[in-house]
């Protein structure tokens, strides 16, 4: 008798499965590895340099010329509390000028990338000039970026900020320094979280070699990699997502050159 009921039980099970699939259709799936914006948080912003933003070039992240490398003038130096020893290099923020007469009411927010550190100055009080002293969260913006959301002569304004995914055009870029026995790479144009927790390099004749964090967004390997095509394995600091960039540089790679890839975080 049991055999007669079996098909019936089987089809009700199928019905339940289909119903479950239907119910879940269209539900947003929170895919692992995709960077989610953080909550809005209060901080303050000042600016450094002049309207040319030349003072923002060559910052502590190692991006060099920000125009050449795609960051432009929408950048900020972060107080050491936010800078996180350089692991915050490349992270992106929406900033709202907040409850100051100097704010431009028609600007809802601007978006900036962290490219530099604003070091503490212990000869100034943290509420009177020592804006970047720990534990303050502070953004020392390029003057052109500051001028987009506030009157520059205010000097300092309160802001609400949140981390957002970095929208980057194209793939990761690797700028090389060093030599055949010491490779130093600056990783630029990082999408998604914008940050990096670890990198490995693989020569065409080597295994994966873990690179150590040098400073800012630069990583190094003390290994004989000269004359070999190089691939990289990069892990995001925030999302922990890992991506592979195969054959980024040809075997005749050279220090001083920047190599582009077609892969990036989202
Ligand atoms: C730190 O603050 C003092 C006092 O205002 C100032 O004279 C000095 O130039 C500042 N140092 C730096 C590195 O900005």
Which atom of ligand 1 lies at the shortest distance from residue 119's CA? 13
Express each pLDDT in 59-71 by its tens digit: 999 999 999 899 9
Which residue's alpha carbon is at the smallest distance from atom 3 of ligand 1?
Answer: 123
Q: Are residues 55 and 145 in the same domain?
A: yes
Contact 140, 96 (CB under 8 A): no
CATH number, domain at 234? 2.60.40.760
Q: Could you tell me the CA-to-CA distances from 232 to 6, 82, 104, 139, 201 in Å, in that order?
A: 54, 27, 44, 32, 5
Which of 143, 164, 185 is the endpoint of a domain? Answer: 164
Which atom of ligand 1 lies at the shortest distance from residue 121's CA? 1
- In Å, how far from its chain's centre is CA 155? 27
- Which pTM does this prediction carry? 0.86
pLDDT at 31: 47
Instruction: Name residues contacting ligand 1 (CB within 6 A).
Output: 121, 123-124, 129
pLDDT at 34: 80
The maximal CA–CA distance of the chain, rounded, in angstroms, is: 90
CA 126 / ligand 1 centre spacing (Å):
13
**How many Å apart are CA 38 and CA 238, to the nearest integer?**
11
Express each pLDDT in 224-263 by its tens digit: 999 999 999 999 999 999 999 999 999 999 999 999 999 9
Place of tokens 């050449």: 68
Which atom of ligand 1 lies at the shortest distance from residue 123's CA? 2
Range of the domain at 98: 41-164
CA 75 / ligand 1 centre spacing (Å):
23
Q: Which residues contact 255 (CB under 8 A, 6 or more apart)?
A: 176, 177, 178, 179
Counted domains in the chain: 2
Residue 254 lies inside a defined structural domain of this protein: yes
Cα torsion 52, 55, 57, 60: sign = negative
Which residue's alpha carbon is at the smallest distance from atom 6 of ligand 1?
Answer: 123
Structure tokens at 175: 């700028």
Which of 130, 164, 198 is the endpoint of a domain? Answer: 164
- Regions of the chain short of the pLDDT cut 70: 1-33
Q: Are residues 185 and 107 in the same domain?
A: no
């Amino acid at each position: 008798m049991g055999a007669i009921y079996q098909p019936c039980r089987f089809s009700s099970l199928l019905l339940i499965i289909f119903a479950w699939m239907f119910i879940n259709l269209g539900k947003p799936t929170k895919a692992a590895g995709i960077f989610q914006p953080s909550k809005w948080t209060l901080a303050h912003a000042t600016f450094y340099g002049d309207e040319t933003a030349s003072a923002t070039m060559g910052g502590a992240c190692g991006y060099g010329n920000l125009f050449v490398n795609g960051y432009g003038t929408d950048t900020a130096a972060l107080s050491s509390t936010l800078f996180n020893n350089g692991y915050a290099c490349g992270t992106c923020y929406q900033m709202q000028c907040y409850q100051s007469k100097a704010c431009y009411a028609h600007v809802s927010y601007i978006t900036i990338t962290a490219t530099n550190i604003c070091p503490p100055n212990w000869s100034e009080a943290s509420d009177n000039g020592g804006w970047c002293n720990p534990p303050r969260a502070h953004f020392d913006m390029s003057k052109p970026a500051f001028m987009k959301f506030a009157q520059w002569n205010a000097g300092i304004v309160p802001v609400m900020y949140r981390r957002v995914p970095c929208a980057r055009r194209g793939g990761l870029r690797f700028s090389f320094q060093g030599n055949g026995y010491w490779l130093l790479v600056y990783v630029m144009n990082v999408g998604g979280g914008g940050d990096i927790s670890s990198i490995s390099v693989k020569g065409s004749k080597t295994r994966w070699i873990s690179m150590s964090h040098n400073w800012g967004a630069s990583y190094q390997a003390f290994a004989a990699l000269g004359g070999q095509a190089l691939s990289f394995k990069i892990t995001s600091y925030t999302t922990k997502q890992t991506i592979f960039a195969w054959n980024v540089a040809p075997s005749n790679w050279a220090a001083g050159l920047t190599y582009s890839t077609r892969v990036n975080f989202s």
